[in-house]
Structure 1
Amino acid sequence: MKPSRLSLLLAGLLLAGGAHAAAADHVRASHAWIRVLPGALPAGAYVTLENDGDQPVALSGADSTVYADVMLHRSSTAGGMSRMSMVDSLEVPAHGKAVLAPAGYHLMLMQPKAPVKAGDTVRLTLKFTDGSTLATDFVARPANALDDTGH
């Protein structure tokens, strides 16, 4: 085989392997929902992530075609003051789970490209620090919702 053909074959195999490795097959998402606020105010996205793998993974953020920017945040309370800060990642332990919920870790969804209303489904592509991704459908709930059922 000529070197150029071998190089092309190897490149093709590497690309095929990389495409397979990009899917977060070891992580499952459930209870995915968004708290929609009025107008163009930022929305919060919440989800339970379960890692069936033997190694921990870390959520580093998400992408959306509906929102211009998605950031991973953590809400906390100290000395009676509520704070929200951006974080780089959230670990999902091996054979464990991580919960993004109100008053804790969440995805902050900024600048909707079109109005999102209660009942809509918004797909977010969750991104992990190992390079894998997980496309997840989030159900939009009203501003007064406390969980994924809308209550």
Structure 2
Amino acid sequence: MRNIHYRKVAIFFTLLFAMTSNVYATSAITVTDGYVKASIPGSEVTASYMTINNTSDNAITLQKVSSVISDRIEIHEHSMADGMMRMREVGEITIKANSEVVLQPSGLHLMIFSLKQQITEKDVITLTLYFSNDTEVKIQLPVLKYK
């Protein structure tokens, strides 16, 4: 009787591992090198940066980002125009097939407005990224000192 119980448990964990492995293996989107900047005392705004990788054979678009730390997270881009650095909301970012997009200072990035709390280096921030292929990617990002 005891061997049957252990065998069932072993089969359960083998199947569970196989299912989990398949989820990660089939995910076309990966996020690396992500972080959120610590907020400046008295400020309700910060930014987040990361690299988004698309390993699929189709373009995928980042359409929206959400988090419990703010009700307003926008996708922005810095650009140089007439000798002036400008920032504007772009709405979404398309990641070409088998490609990556880097969100970085002075380029594409996430602007996090109306922070519900001060963000410090002790925090880890959870963001949910929503993509055009109906994929939601939940990531946890460290907070780095604002420079």
Q: Could you tell me the TM-score, scaled by structure 1's length?
A: 0.75
Moved over 6 A (4+): none
Q: 1 CA distance for matches of 2:50 and 2:122?
A: 16
**Residues 121 and 144 in structure 2, CA contact (< 8 A), matched pair in contact too:** yes
Structure label with greater radius of gyration: 2
2:140 is equivalent to residue 140 of structure 1: no
22, 27, 33: which one pairs with 1:31? 33
- The count of residues paired between Structure 1 and Structure 2 equals 122
Q: 1 CA distance for matches of 2:131 and 2:66?
A: 11
Q: Which amino acid aligns with 1:109?
A: I
Per-residue CA deviations over 1:47-74 (Å, capped at 9, x if unaligned) read: 1011111111011220001112100111
Counterpart for residue 134 of structure 2:
131
Q: 2 CA distance for matches of 1:79 and 1:119?
A: 40
Q: 2 CA distance for matches of 1:86 and 1:71?
A: 7
SS at match of 1:73: strand
Q: Which runs of 5+ in 1 are unaligned?
A: 1-23, 145-151
**Residues 125 and 133 in structure 1, CA contact (< 8 A), matched pair in contact too:** yes
Identity of aligned residues (%): 24
Q: 2 CA distance for matches of 1:69 and 1:130?
A: 22
SS at match of 2:114: strand
Counterpart for residue 90 of structure 1:
93
**Residues 64 and 74 in structure 2, CA contact (< 8 A), matched pair in contact too:** yes
**Residues 122 and 143 in structure 2, CA contact (< 8 A), matched pair in contact too:** yes
Counterpart for residue 11 of structure 1:
none
Q: Which amino acid aligns with 1:123?
A: T
2:115 is equivalent to residue 115 of structure 1: no
**Residues 61 and 107 in structure 1, CA contact (< 8 A), matched pair in contact too:** no
Cα RMSD of the aligned pairs, angstroms, is 1.7
Q: 1 CA distance for matches of 2:38 and 2:85?
A: 20
Q: 2 CA distance for matches of 1:52 and 1:91?
A: 13
SS at match of 1:106: strand
Counterpart for residue 7 of structure 2:
none
Q: 2 CA distance for matches of 1:67 and 1:142?
A: 19
Q: Could you tell me the TM-score, scaled by structure 2's length?
A: 0.77
